[in-house]
Chain A
Amino acid sequence: MSEQPPRTKTIKTDYLARVEGEGAMQVKIKDGRVTDVKLRIYEPPRFFEAFLRGRSYLEAPDITARICGICPVAYQMSSVQAMEDICGVEVDGQLRNLRRLLYCGEWLESHALHVFMLHAPDFLGFSSAVELARAVPGLVEQALELKKTGNRLMSVIGGREVHPINVRVGGFYRAPSRGELDALVAPLERARELALAAVETVAGFDFPDYRHDYTLVSLADPELYPIDRGRIGSSEGLDIAPSAYDEHFVEEHVAWSNALHSRLVGGGSYLCGPLARFGLHYERLSPLARQAAQAAGVGPSERNPFRSIIVRAVELVYAADEALRLIADYELPDRPAVEVEPRAGVGYGATEAPRGLLYHRYRLDADGTILDAKIVPPTSQNQRTIEEDLRGVVERSLDLPDEQLSALCEQTIRNYDPCISCATHFLKLEVERC
């Protein structure tokens, strides 16, 4: 018998479906070893940081909301927080609660879309949400109802369901009435039931056997599950104010992607998003969300990225639960926003977008004109980790036929709910030539 020739194969997906934005993936395998993994983000650069220069600090929430149609609230919240940091203002009490409530709406919308419509088809062997709807219409009906409740929350507090217009530096243009929020209680209670059922459903999926000892990074709030503000912490003991972000995290350009890769200074990749929040702050979830997690068999030590779909469903329970708590405690604030006077300086904002930590930094001059801006979205931060997981998953699954291996790679990428449109923002164009 002659020796088998070395086996080289390349798995390429030129257009990733069911992720937010335009990306492609390339994995090279030679002689049973993975030699190269690239997540190529080819959505064109978006230049938002440059657009912001020369604009008023008051415009930042409305301009940055346009970065993403699925997580506009995250952009608004990180930007207003940074502006308030510069101007020496803290937004607290009911205004902070309203911000958190609006954010719950975004988590509901985004997680419902991802869990059911984008990720569940992978586990159930369907190529799209439409196929899933044909086979299991009930599941898609649940997703639509959950998303609709998120939309309603966004409309009532944000002024409309996509790209809200009611957020301003210092608070809101208008605070909702008690009655408007009361009308959300029944749909949110229903959403909480649907989310509990979703946890049970997705916990029953089959999960590839894979584990990665990530460095987890998320915001940390002294009392609440991290959403709208806090310090930045990690599983390795990092505990910093958002103002120290640039000392601990760096962004690097790689030739194959229009999105910058982030890593820890003096270290490597890290993970942000649901699995990180859950791993670091499990104890801050509501009792109901913790119970649901426990019944589903996920705990803070969960490190299988495929099981992040269960964690996302648990966060759906939490978002509904937390929204109900905030509504129960609501009292119409004296005024919808606190006074903010511009001043020269640098400010920082960090919040938890549905898919992970979103960091903003701005420098203003004395009249509030933006001199420069830096925005680091969660998908940039996770990119390096996504590639590491692709490598790990492929190495364990080399015997699979190409088509199945390719599907598994896509499923792996969707573990991060990547928002490629958000991640694409750097200013340098390079052409890769093979």
Chain B
Amino acid sequence: MIGVGNPWRGDDAAGLHTARALRPLLPPAVEVLEETGEPTSLLDRFAASDVLWLVDAVRSGAAPGTIHRLDVAAAELPAELFRTSTHHLGLAEAVELARALGRLPRQLAVFGIEGADFSAGEALSPPVARAVPKVAALIAEEVDACTKRR
């Protein structure tokens, strides 16, 4: 599981907080990582993963704290959702690049948490802070189901 975000830009850190909330909930076999979203590293992680959960903050116009679950297998990820960085290709582009290059994990789920405030600072806005443990619980359930199937 990879949480993506910038720890200094408010709700942008939602993915990182989710990773931290998930760590105690998951069996040790599941690796939980915090990443900046730098695309080359992400692509390497994709190629090295079999089943992967990604969590990042998004901006779609939905109510802050809304949880999106995007099915990567079904459709292209909408790039405009993840335009939170001006210096890299976004998460959606990284996923689509991986798809084009045949580097996607066998199973990949992307969770987006609708952010409200991306200004400088370490605090999450209240609706996003409330969404974080919910997303963590959803992923923990999915991990559980996935490991039981094996």
Contacts and interface: CB of A to CB of B under 8 A. Distances in A.
Interface of A: 20-22, 43, 68-70, 117, 128-130, 133-134, 137, 140-141, 144, 147-148, 151, 161-162, 420-421
Contacts, number: 49
A134 B97 CA distance: 8
- The interface residues of chain A, by DSSP majority, are classed as helix
B36 A43 contact: no
A129 B40 contact: no
Nearest to A70: B87
A22 B100 CA distance: 26
B101 A141 contact: yes
A422 B102 CA distance: 34
A297 B78 CA distance: 40
Contacts of A129: 89, 93, 97
A147 B88 CA distance: 12
26 contacts: A20-B86, A20-B87, A68-B87, A69-B86, A69-B88, A70-B87, A129-B93, A129-B97, A130-B93, A130-B96, A133-B96, A133-B100, A133-B101, A137-B100, A140-B97, A140-B100, A140-B101, A144-B40, A147-B40, A148-B40, A148-B44, A151-B38, A161-B41, A162-B38, A420-B86, A421-B87
Contacts of B85: 69
Interface of B: 36, 38, 40-41, 43-44, 85-89, 93, 96-97, 100-102
B81 to A, nearest CB: 15
Contact of B97 (A43, A68, A130, A161): A130
Given A130-B96, A141-B101, 13 more contacts: A20-B87, A43-B86, A69-B87, A70-B88, A130-B100, A133-B97, A134-B100, A144-B43, A147-B40, A148-B44, A151-B40, A151-B41, A162-B38
Across the A-B interface, the 9 shortest Cβ-Cβ residue pairs: A69-B87, A133-B100, A130-B96, A134-B100, A21-B86, A147-B40, A421-B86, A70-B87, A133-B97
Contacts of B101: 133, 137, 140-141
Contact of B93 (A69, A128, A421): A128
Contacts of A147: 40
A68 B88 CA distance: 11
A144 B101 CA distance: 11
Most A CB contacts (10 A, CB to CB) among B44, B89, B93, B100 go to B100
Contacts of B44: 148
A70 B89 CA distance: 11
A128 B105 CA distance: 22
A312 B102 CA distance: 28
Contact of B86 (A22, A144, A162): A22
